[in-house]
C-alpha cells in the first residue's frame, strides 16, 4: 500500500508547468483557469525567459515593458462618428474597469498599474454601426494603455482598432458583450519595424450574445497579443480569428484562451500565418477549456502556418481541456508546412508563372481570415498589405 504524504496537498504556490520542481509541496497548475492573477506587478515573479508562458518570447527585447516605468497618460487618436456609439476617457475608479478580467502575467499587471485613464468605447445601437479608432503617434517612449469596450444588451456593432507608427506599448483591452448583443472587434497591428507591443485582451460574453474577435498582425519587431475570452452566459457564441505575416527578425505571438463556462455555448478558433525571411518567428498557443457546467458545448480550434523561406520558425501548440462529458463536440488541430506542390503544379500547368502561382496560393491561404472582417474598406487594405509583403519577399529573393 502506498502512503501519501500530507505535504503533497500543502502547496504554497502554483505555476503552469514546473513538473520538475524540487520545492517541497509544489503542485503545478493543471487546469487553465487556475492560473495566478493579480492587478499588482510585484505579485508576479521576475520574468527570466525560462517560464512556460515566456520561454518562446524574446524577453530581452521587451523587458522595459515588463518591468520599466510606463507613461500612462491619455494619447491622441482619431475616431469616426457613429450613432449609438461613444468614446470617452474614464477614471480608474469607474465601475467598468476590471469587469472583464484580471492580469495573468507581469507585463499585463505593469500596464494595469500604470495607466491614468482608460479609453471607454460604449455601444448601444441595435442597428449595426462601425466604429473605427486609429492611433499612429504613440512615439518611442514606453507607455501603458487601457481600453474598455462595452456592447450593451442587444446592440449590434463592429469596432476596428487600427495601430501604426512607432510604439513601445504595454496594454490591456477589456471587452464586455452583454446579453443578446453582437460585437465584432478587430485589432490591426501595423507598427513600424522597431516597435514593441505586449497586449492582453479580456472578454466576457453574456447570454445569447456573440463575439467575433479578430487579430491581424502585419508589423512590428515584437508583438505579443493574448486574447482571453469567457463564454459566461448560456448560449454565448465566440469566434476567434487571427492573421499574421512575419518577416525577417520579426516575432509575432498569440496565446489564445477560450473558456466555455455556461451551457450550450459555441466556440471557433482559427488562426493563420505566413513566415518569410531569416529569423521570422511566430508563436501560437491555443487553450480551450470546457468547464464542468458547460454542457452542450460545441468547440473547435485550429492553427495553420505557411512557411515561405528558409530560416523561419513557427511554434504551434493547441491544448484542449474538458471537464464535462455532456458536450456536442470538441477538437483541435495544428499544421505547419511549405507550399503544396500539387497546387503549384496545377497553376503552372495552366500557364501561370511560378512566382504568380506562389502569390495566388498565399493570398488564397490567408483570404479565409480576411473575409471574416466584414468591412470592405479594411478587407481591401489587408489584401493590399499582404500583396506588399509578398512583393518585398520576391524582390529580396526570399521565397522558398
The pLDDT score that the predictor gives to residue 351 is 74
* 185 and 332 co-located in one domain: yes
Instruction: Classify residue 375 as left (phi > 0), alpha (psi -120 to 50) or beta.
Output: beta
For residue 220, the model assigns a pLDDT of 98
Residue 7: pLDDT band with limits 50, 70, 90: very low
Whether 21 shows a pLDDT value over 60: the answer reads: no
- Helix ranges, the chain (H): 59-67, 106-114, 341-348, 354-370, 376-396
Model confidence pLDDT, tens digit, residues 55-67: 999 999 999 999 9
The pLDDT assigned to 29 comes to: 55
Does residue 393 sit within a domain? no
Whether 362 is in a domain gets the answer no
Rounded mean pLDDT of 198-218?
98
202 in the same domain as 156? yes
| pLDDT of 16 strictly over 70 | no
Q: What are the strands, taking DSSP E only, across 129-181?
A: 129-135, 142-151, 156-165, 168-177
Q: Which of 317, 339, 361 is the last residue of a domain?
A: 339
Q: Kindly state whether residues 84 and 112 are assigned to the same domain.
A: yes
Query: Are 233 and 319 in the same domain?
Result: yes
Q: What is the pLDDT of residue 327?
A: 95
Looking at residue 30, what is its pLDDT?
Answer: 63
Q: Considering only 26-35, 175-184, 192-201, 259-268, which range has the smallest mean pLDDT?
A: 26-35
Q: Are 328 and 297 in contact (CB under 8 A)?
A: yes
pLDDT band for 338, please (50, 70, 90 cuts).
confident
User: pLDDT-based confidence at 390, cuts 50/70/90?
Assistant: confident
Among 304, 321, 339, where does a domain finish?
Answer: 339
pTM: 0.90
The number of domains in the chain is: 2
Whether 361 is in a domain gets the answer no
pLDDT at 3: 40
Task: Kindly state the average pLDDT of the residues 277-300.
Answer: 97
Q: What's the pLDDT band for 1 if we cut at 50, 70, 90?
A: very low
Asked whether residue 397 carries a pLDDT value surpassing 50, the answer given is: no
- Residue 131 lies in domain: 41-339
Claim to verify: residue 12 and residue 157 sit in the same structural domain: no
pLDDT, tens digit (0-9, with 9 covering 90-100), for 302-336: 999 999 989 999 999 999 999 999 999 999 999 99
Residue 88 lies in a domain: yes
Pairwise CA distance, residues 88 & 67, whole Å: 28
> Of the given ranges (18-27, 56-65, 366-375, 385-394), which has the lowest mean pLDDT?
18-27
Region 262-267 average pLDDT: 98
321 and 175 in a common domain: yes
Q: Are 312 and 337 in contact (CB under 8 A)?
A: no
- Give a yes or no: residue 325 inside a domain: yes
Whether the predicted pLDDT of 19 surpasses 70: no
The values of phi and psi at residue 124, to 5°, are -130, -15
Among the candidates 304, 339, 374, a domain finishes at 339
- 48 and 24 housed in the same domain: no
**Residue 11's pLDDT band (cuts 50, 70, 90):** very low
The answer as to whether 35 is a domain residue is no
pLDDT (average), residues 149-162: 98
* pLDDT for residue 337: 87
Are 18 and 99 contained in the same domain? no
> Could you tell me if 159 and 21 lie in one domain?
no
Question: What length does the chain have?
Answer: 400
**What average pLDDT is seen over the chain?**
90
The answer to whether residues 11 and 153 belong to one domain is no
Bridge-partner residues for 268, per DSSP?
239, 300
Is there a domain that residue 202 lies in? yes
Q: Which residues pair with 132 in a beta bridge?
A: 160
How much is the pLDDT for 389?
87
- Same domain for 146 and 268, yes or no, is yes
Contact in structure between 161 and 183 (CB atoms under 8 Å): no
Residue 181's closest CA among 219, 207, 142?
207
Q: Are residues 235 and 160 in the same domain?
A: yes
In a domain, 390, yes or no: no
Interatomic CA distance for residues 378 and 384, integer angstroms: 10
pLDDT at 17 over 60: no
Confidence at residue 22, expressed as pLDDT on a 0 to 100 scale: 55
Amino acid at each position: 500500500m502506498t502512503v501519501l504524504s500530507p505535504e503533497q496537498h500543502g502547496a504554497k504556490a502554483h505555476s503552469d508547468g514546473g513538473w520538475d520542481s524540487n520545492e517541497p509541496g509544489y503542485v503545478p497548475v493543471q487546469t487553465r483557469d487556475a492560473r495566478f492573477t493579480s492587478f499588482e506587478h510585484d505579485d508576479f515573479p521576475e520574468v527570466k525567459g525560462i517560464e512556460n508562458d515566456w520561454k518562446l518570447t524574446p524577453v530581452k527585447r521587451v523587458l522595459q515593458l515588463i518591468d520599466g516605468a510606463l507613461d500612462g497618460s491619455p494619447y491622441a487618436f482619431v475616431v469616426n462618428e457613429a450613432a449609438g456609439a461613444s468614446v470617452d476617457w474614464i477614471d480608474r475608479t469607474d465601475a467598468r474597469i476590471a469587469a472583464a478580467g484580471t492580469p495573468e502575467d507581469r507585463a499585463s499587471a505593469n500596464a494595469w498599474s500604470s495607466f491614468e485613464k482608460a479609453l471607454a468605447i460604449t455601444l448601444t445601437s441595435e442597428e449595426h454601426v462601425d466604429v473605427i479608432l486609429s492611433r499612429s503617434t504613440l512615439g518611442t517612449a514606453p507607455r501603458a494603455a487601457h481600453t474598455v469596450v462595452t456592447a450593451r444588451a442587444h446592440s449590434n456593432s463592429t469596432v476596428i482598432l487600427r495601430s501604426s507608427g512607432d510604439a513601445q506599448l504595454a496594454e490591456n483591452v477589456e471587452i464586455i458583450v452583454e446579453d443578446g448583443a453582437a460585437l465584432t472587434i478587430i485589432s490591426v497591428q501595423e507598427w513600424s519595424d522597431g516597435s514593441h507591443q505586449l497586449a492582453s485582451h479580456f472578454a466576457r460574453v453574456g447570454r445569447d450574445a456573440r463575439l467575433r474577435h479578430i487579430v491581424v498582425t502585419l508589423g512590428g519587431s515584437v508583438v505579443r497579443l493574448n486574447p482571453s475570452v469567457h463564454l459566461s452566459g448560456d448560449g454565448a457564441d465566440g469566434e476567434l480569428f487571427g492573421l499574421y505575416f512575419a518577416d525577417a527578425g520579426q516575432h509575432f505571438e498569440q496565446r489564445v484562451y477560450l473558456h466555455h463556462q455556461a451551457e450550450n455555448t459555441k466556440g471557433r478558433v482559427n488562426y493563420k500565418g505566413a513566415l518569410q525571411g531569416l529569423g521570422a518567428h511566430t508563436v501560437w498557443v491555443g487553450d480551450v477549456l470546457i468547464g464542468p457546467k458547460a454542457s452542450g458545448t460545441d468547440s473547435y480550434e485550429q492553427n495553420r502556418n505557411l512557411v515561405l523561406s528558409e530560416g523561419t520558425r513557427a511554434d504551434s501548440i493547441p491544448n484542449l481541456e474538458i471537464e464535462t462529458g455532456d458536450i456536442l463536440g470538441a477538437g483541435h488541430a495544428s499544421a505547419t508546412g511549405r507550399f503544396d506542390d500539387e497546387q503549384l503544379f496545377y497553376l503552372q500547368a495552366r500557364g501561370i508563372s511560378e512566382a504568380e502561382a506562389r502569390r495566388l496560393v498565399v493570398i488564397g491561404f490567408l483570404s479565409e481570415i480576411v473575409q471574416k472582417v466584414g468591412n470592405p474598406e479594411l478587407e481591401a487594405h489587408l489584401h493590399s498589405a499582404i500583396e506588399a509583403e509578398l512583393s518585398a519577399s520576391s524582390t529580396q529573393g526570399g521565397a522558398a
